[in-house]
Amino acid sequence: MQKIITFLLIAAALTFSASTVFAASGASIFSSEGCIACHTINGAGGSIGPDLSHVGSKRSLSWLKTQITDPSAHFASGTSVTINGKSYMVIMPGHRNIQASKLNALAGYLESLK
């Protein structure tokens, strides 16, 4: 029983560490990939796109990955969409060629925003 408890504690610590690393690197990628030019998080960033401060409480990791790589899968380009009572023109570029590690970190970061 002691071995099982120790294993579970180690597994929980590793999971926490991985999500913390994704959140830290994802925040950096959000900036370096230019997302911050259009989107706001906690008061910092642009206002062309929706505020993403709490996007993780509304969207799944899978949805976020699709939105980053192929936003037209959710919203037709050139149309208008209303999010949180505010209307936006859908102009987000797809980042189809983003490295998988960057995509995972960025989507993980966004999902952590609750």
Domains and CATH numbers, the chain: 2-112 (1.10.760.10)
Q: How sure is the predictor about 7, in pLDDT bands with cuts at 50, 70 and 90?
A: very low
**Cβ pair 96, 70 in contact under 8 A:** yes
Q: pLDDT, tens digit, for every residue of 59-102?
A: 999 999 999 999 999 999 999 999 889 999 999 999 999 999 99
**Cβ pair 68, 79 in contact under 8 A:** no
Nearest-angstrom CA–CA distance, 21 and 78:
35
pTM score:
0.79
